Structure 1
Amino acid sequence: MPKPSLADLTAFASIAEHRSFRRAADALGVSRSSLSHLMRALERTLDVRLLHRTTRSVAPTEAGERLLKRLMPVLRDLDEALDAVSDDRGQPSGTLRINGNEAATRLLLRTVVPAFLARYPQMALDLVSEGRLIDIVEQGFDAGIRLAESVPHDMIAVRLGGDVRFVAVSSPAYLAASSTPRHPDDLRQHRCIRQRLPSGKPYRWEFARHGQEIAIDVPGVLTLDHSGLMVEAAIDGLGIAFVPEHVARAALDSNILAIVLEDWSPAIAGLCLYYPGNRHVPAGLRAFIDMLKTVAFDPAATAW
């Protein structure tokens, strides 16, 4: 029986890991049709079905699971061997894919990206900015960037700066016409500027004091999906907004906005770059992390 090529086996492993022909094709840089043809040829060569295929999903068969279990350590060892060669040259190469929200992507572009690309000319960066939380492994990313509280527990996280704080803010004119909230529950009697998450769900405002935590689905007739727009709406007297403090800092310093419930607004851990702890770490990602650790991030710029 002819032996499958390394490319065939790598393609199978990618499909099985991503549970998707489309995502595997994107990760490998090939077309979905060519990947499907390659898998059919591999199954004919081995004379065994490796994948269950439906219109909605792909999953390994029992034979596929057995092959994948034996194959993954071999592919990891191969990746490590190739990375060792790159280390000997002192120049990692390839494409590093990172998923983060817009603020995180802007932060990288202002700080790490220029120096990284200058130092490692054989590396390419693919930065995807989106608000929704995703499974970075399933979607074919090497790393992600999110607030520390949103990082999955099975990931390794690297801090990008100091703590951040979310605050409720309002214009003096709005507070003059309404009673000032003294407790988070008081917000139920106020006009609030709600936030819609990328998932489509409304964001529940979260407060904490002396060990007591409260999350409120606030009332309001205006819903926005951008912190900057929420600040502008609050300045215009349209209600109380809940935003990262640094986004409202200029308006607060100018006294055109004021913080309410300040003693209910503690600092929380800020942004982290995170990556799978149970997989081989590519040389390019290791180099990127090493460079992250040398950057003196402005804590005010590392909020979500």
Structure 2
Amino acid sequence: MTKPTLADLTAFSAVAAHRSFRRAADSLGVSRSSLSHAMLALERDLGVRLLNRTTRSVAPTEAGEALLTRLAPVLRDLDEALDAVADARGNPSGTLRINANESAARLLLRAAVPRFLTRFPGMALDLVSEGRLVDIVEQGFDAGVRLGESIPRDMIAVRISDDLRFVVVAAPSYLAGRTPPVAPDDLRDHICIRQRLPSGKRYRWEFSKHGQEVTIDVPGALTLDHNGLMAEAAADGLGLAYVPESTARDRLDDGRLVTVLDDWCPFIPGLYLYYPGHRHVPAGLRAFIDVLKEIGREL
């Protein structure tokens, strides 16, 4: 039996964790075909089938699960040992993968990313911005950034922004001659700009006041999937929009938009960077968190 290399075992662990050759290849920075060939070679060298493959998925066999159980702590210990060396040098290296929505990515790019990459030249940052909430472990990310209320409970979270709120906005020209809504139910008599979520579902506007929560499936002929476009459409007089206050701030300041239902739009937990609490935290992620905390103390 040919003894497998560390690279082969690491690749097998990634495929088993992701249950996908494509996602594992992305996390390792290799092509899907080369990863598939490497796994076939590993199985041939060991003389046992490690992975069950179908056209849609891949999963460890019983032998693969047994190997993974013994392999996981070994790879974790190795990662910790290498990180200890990086810490001693004060210079972590490698690639840090972070998943965030667009607004969170913009926030990171303004301050944290430039400082992090300047301070740690051995690090590369792969920042993926997408609207849908993903399983960061399954998708091979080191961390994610989302609103506090969206973070899974088994994650460790680090605050990176103040609390925020969503507001209902409209152009003065739209409200001219109309009775402004004073309660969420009044929205049923207005033209609203609806929102399509990344999941494909339409967002139902959510409000809260003195412990009372109300959800409204607002009427409207126009549906958009981007907060910036919704604020722009509202400023053009196309109807009421429900967007983050920060998205509408410039138009609110210059009078192109005004808010309604303010007392039904409370603040909610802001943005947090989060990561799995049950896994070893790589040196690069710890360094990025330190940068975030440093910036937070300066504000």
What's the TM-score, normalizing by structure 1? 0.94
What's 2:84 paired with?
A: 84
How much does 1:208 deviate?
0.5
CA distance in 1, matches of 2:176, 2:69: 66
What's 1:147 paired with?
A: 147
CA distance in 1, matches of 2:298, 2:107: 10
The 1:297–1:100 alpha-carbon spacing in structure 2 relative to 1, beyond 3 Å, is farther
The 5 Å alignment of 1:92-241 reads 92-241=92-241
CA distance in 2, matches of 1:33, 1:193: 45
How much does 1:298 deviate?
10
- Deviating 4+ runs (over 6 angstroms): none
What's 1:284 paired with?
A: 284
What's 2:248 paired with?
A: 248
Letter in 2 for 1:233: A
How much does 1:186 deviate?
1.5
What's 1:269 paired with?
A: 269
Please give the secondary structure, in 2, of the residue aligned with 1:208.
strand
How much does 1:150 deviate?
1.2
CA distance in 1, matches of 2:296, 2:2: 55
Letter in 2 for 1:73: P
CA distance in 1, matches of 2:298, 2:189: 37
How much does 1:273 deviate?
0.7
What's 1:55 paired with?
A: 55
Tell me, yes or no, if the aligned pair for 1:161 and 1:298 is still in contact at 8 Å. Answer: no
- Residues 21-75 of structure 1: CA deviation (Å, up to 9, x unaligned): 1111111122212211111122222222211100000111122112111211110
Please give the secondary structure, in 2, of the residue aligned with 1:125.
strand
Letter in 2 for 1:129: S
- Residues 139-182 of structure 1: CA deviation (Å, up to 9, x unaligned): 11111111111111121111002100101111223223222212
Indicate the larger mover: 89-98 or 59-68: 59-68
CA distance in 2, matches of 1:31, 1:57: 17
Tell me, yes or no, if the aligned pair for 1:160 and 1:297 is still in contact at 8 Å. Answer: no
Tell me, yes or no, if the aligned pair for 1:169 and 1:258 is still in contact at 8 Å. Answer: yes
Percent identical among aligned pairs is 73
Gaps of 5+ in 1: 300-304
Please give the secondary structure, in 1, of the residue aligned with 2:203.
coil
Gaps of 5+ in 2: none
CA distance in 2, matches of 1:172, 1:109: 34
CA distance in 2, matches of 1:25, 1:231: 39
How much does 1:297 deviate?
8.4
Alignment coverage as a number of residue pairs: 299
Letter in 2 for 1:20: S
The 1:61–1:261 alpha-carbon spacing in structure 2 relative to 1, beyond 3 Å, is same
Please give the secondary structure, in 1, of the residue aligned with 2:296.
coil
CA distance in 2, matches of 1:125, 1:2: 36
CA distance in 2, matches of 1:199, 1:177: 37
Pairwise CA RMSD of aligned residues? 1.6
Tell me, yes or no, if the aligned pair for 1:161 and 1:297 is still in contact at 8 Å. Answer: no
CA distance in 2, matches of 1:148, 1:285: 19
- Residues 115-154 of structure 1: CA deviation (Å, up to 9, x unaligned): 1111111111111111111111121111111111111112
CA distance in 2, matches of 1:242, 1:79: 45
CA distance in 1, matches of 2:268, 2:63: 47
What's 1:294 paired with?
A: 294
Letter in 1 for 2:234: A
CA distance in 1, matches of 2:253, 2:32: 53
Please give the secondary structure, in 2, of the residue aligned with 1:64.
helix
How much does 1:252 deviate?
2.3
The 1:31–1:19 alpha-carbon spacing in structure 2 relative to 1, beyond 3 Å, is same
Letter in 2 for 1:27: S
What's 2:28 paired with?
A: 28
CA distance in 1, matches of 2:195, 2:290: 35
